Amino acid sequence: MDGWPLSWQTTGAEQMKGVSGLAIILVLALAGGITAAQWPEYQTMQVLRQDGVVLFPQALPVSDFAFVDENGAPFVKQDLQGKNVLMFFGYTWCPDICPTTLMDLSRTWKRLPEAVKQQWAVVLVSIDPARDRPENLAPYMHYFNPDFKALTGNPDALQTLAAELNAIYHRVERDDGAYLMDHSANLALLSKDGDYLGYIEPPHNASRMVALIKALSQ
């Protein structure tokens, strides 16, 4: 299984114990009205019932938007259609949340099957378009994963999109004249049609995210 050491050795008795444990879980599920055919769906539901995973009863619409991407090319909402999207709001000068999130997602991507990765896009929307320009966004994103996207360059679109996806950010001035940006750390979930499905709260470590993305890809 994923994450188990290759040197793991199991005795026959331990194997039987594991099988018996799984059988007990399945019997209990069946006793609760879950049929064998529904078992995969039941497992998916259990994964998605984690604390910090919020899926709305009904998808919410997201307005059209227009940004430029990390390569300086125009990027609109339609460019994301056909993919599920993990979207978060951050900036390249972020000292902690953003690099941690991107590193977690990069590690997650390395553990996902290729068929699952093809269904998804990871998108950073810059909350600091004054400093986050394509020339510094591109190397920043490529460091973590060249397939991840970054959007910037349109403060009005940023404000609208952040409001629709429940993202919060504000500028924090420093005594030295520089500034930081405080912001929320959730990953917004968008459907292949570009609708807002819900969000995933931190932590976004690979051991948690791999199971979630696989479940959401069903």
Q: For 144-156, write each residue's pLDDT tens digit.
A: 999 999 999 999 9
Q: For 176-216, write each residue's pLDDT tens digit.
A: 888 999 999 999 999 999 999 999 999 999 999 999 999 99
Among residues 149, 183, 160, 164, the alpha carbon closest in space to that of 73 is found at 149
pTM for the predicted model, two decimal places? 0.78
CA distances 100 to 82, 105, 107, Å, are 27, 9, 11
- Residue 35 tokens, joined: 């049929």
Residue 96, helix vs strand vs coil: coil
pLDDT at 23: 53
Q: Scan for tokens 């990953």, then name that residue.
A: 187
CA distances 201 to 13, 56, 83, 145, Å, are 40, 14, 21, 21
The burial class, CB within 10 Å (0-12 / 13-18 / 19+), for 59 is middle
What's domain 53-216's architecture?
Answer: 3-Layer(aba) Sandwich (3.40)
Residue 172, helix vs strand vs coil: strand
On the question of pLDDT at 82 being above 80, the answer is yes
Determine how β-strand 169-173 pairs with β-strand 74-76: unpaired
pLDDT tier for residue 13 given thresholds of 50, 70 and 90: very low
Domain ranges in the chain are 12-48, 53-216
Distance (Å, whole) CA 44 – CA 19: 20
